Each structure stands twice: as C-alpha cells, then as structure tokens.
C-alpha cells in the first residue's frame, strides 16, 4: 500500500487534490485506488474516515445523508428512536430501501438502538373494547346455540 506522502511525491500534487482530479475525470473509487497504488478496501475506508474530503458521488447512503443534513446516521437513528419511529420509517428518511437493510447496516457499524417494531408511525390503541364502537355481531347466537338447534326435516 502506498502512503499519502509517496503518492504526493510520485504525482507531484497534493494527495486530496489528486483524488479530486481523478473523481472529476469520472474514475470510480476502485479505479482511483488502483491508479495510486492503494488497496480498494483500505482506500474506501480512508474516504469513509474523511467524509468532508471525499470528492466522489456518495455510494454509501450514510455519507450522502451526512452531506445532506449534517447529521450522522447514528445521531439520526437515536433521534428517531426517541421519537418512537420504526426501522422502515428511518430507512425511508435516510435513503435505504428497506428497514431490515438499515438495521443490518447499523449493526455492522456498531450502532445499537432500539427502534419501534411496528410499521409506520406509532399509534395509540384503544384500551377498552367499548372504545372501538358497537359490535356488528351483538345479539347473534353462539355456535353452541346454532349446533343445539334442531335442523328442519
């Protein structure tokens, strides 16, 4: 793996300026990593550790959310958990396709948060049956009464 100083010496340009030039030319993260002599995964890790210097289009949704709102994914998840939101809601806000995908990403990043397990917004359920309104089956015979009735001949 090449160091930043070695890359600057070889190319004669500031490291982050060189990365920005490659991004402007349309190279991907992986192509840029190979061009400067970095392993692609360690290069992506370095970009993730320096999100303000990352010139590439954000393919990691958490980075894009940070750029859009200034709030990290961990901060957003803790805020939404305090509001009683679900994983699905948080996924839609942050930009992931499904709640279970966001939950897996949060676990991989070490973010431990207890989100609401119901779908959609939190709802208050009636505590008593009478609060739900009249029952349409009031006054109907039970199955026992129906079975006890004699069948017509």
| Alpha-carbon dihedral sign for residues 51, 54, 60, 66 | positive
Q: Enter the tokens of residue 28.
A: 């991907």
Q: Where are the domains of the chain?
A: 4-49, 61-108
Cβ-in-10-Å burial (0-12, 13-18, 19+) of 52 comes to exposed
What is the model's pLDDT at position 141? 76
Residue range 41-84, pLDDT digits in tens? 788 788 878 878 888 765 567 777 777 788 888 899 999 999 98
Nearest to 72 by CA among 94, 57, 46: 94
Question: Reduced to 3 states, what is the DSSP secondary structure of residue 86?
Answer: strand
**Locus of tokens 């029952």:** 135
pLDDT tens for residues 88-124?
888 888 877 788 878 888 887 788 998 876 555 556 6
- Distance CA(38)–CA(22), nearest Å, equals 14
Neighbours of 18 (CB within 10 A): 19
Find the distance separating the first CA and the last CA of the chain, reported in whole Å: 93
């Amino acid at each position: 793996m090449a160091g930043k100083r070695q890359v600057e010496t070889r190319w004669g340009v500031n490291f982050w300026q060189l990365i920005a030039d490659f991004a402007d030319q349309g190279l991907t993260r992986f192509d840029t990593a190979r061009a400067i002599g970095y392993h692609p995964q360690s290069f992506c890790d370095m970009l993730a550790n320096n999100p303000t210097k990352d010139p590439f289009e954000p393919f990691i949704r958490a980075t894009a959310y940070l750029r859009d709102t200034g709030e990290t994914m961990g901060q957003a998840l803790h805020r939404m958990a305090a509001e009683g939101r679900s994983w699905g809601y948080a996924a839609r806000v942050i930009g992931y396709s499904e709640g279970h995908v966001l939950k897996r990403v949060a676990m991989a990043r070490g973010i431990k948060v207890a989100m609401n397990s119901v779908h959609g917004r939190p709802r208050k359920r009636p505590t008593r049956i009478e609060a739900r309104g009249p029952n349409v089956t009031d006054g109907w015979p039970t199955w026992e009464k129906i079975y006890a009735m004699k069948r017509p001949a």
